[in-house]
Amino acid sequence: MLQTHDTLIPARFLLLTSHFIASVMVYQTRDANVRLSAPLNADPTPFDNSIKTAVALSWMAFMVEYFGLFYGKTLFRPMHNLIYVLCHAAGTVAACLHVMATWNVAAYWYIFIFCSLIPCFVEGASLSPLV
């Protein structure tokens, strides 16, 4: 009989990796999103810098989460794993929609906050010596 951690741990790793790959796709296809976000006569550089910053911060959050995953402190905490799985599943879908539907640059900031920053804070709080 399968235990909860027998399914959540592989799902956590796979969804974290798929969300990371989706963020790489956002970075690679950012030109279309920048063109959509910038007004016609405006300089697109601030919009390009905005999405580059959001993606770079996402990658930093992924590094924290990969460290926590391989360190193993939160590996067998089902509620933490459930938060990670839900956030990264939503982040993967949202980032793929961001690429395919050519959403505004500002939309990726919401994806970053709700799908990368929340799990990063949970992981960071779990790794801190105070917990």
The model's confidence at residue 81, banded by pLDDT at 50, 70 and 90, is very high
The model's confidence at residue 47, banded by pLDDT at 50, 70 and 90, is very high
Cα dihedral 67→64→69→127 (10° resolution): 90
List pLDDT tens digits, range 10-26: 999 999 999 999 999 99
| pLDDT at position 78 over 60 | yes
Residue type at position 82? L
Structure tokens at 75: 């590996």
Using DSSP's 3-state secondary structure scheme, residue 131 falls into coil
| pLDDT at position 8 over 80 | yes
Listed in sequence order, the residues at least 6 apart from 96 whose beta carbon sits closer than 8 Å to its beta carbon are 22, 25
The model's confidence at residue 76, banded by pLDDT at 50, 70 and 90, is confident
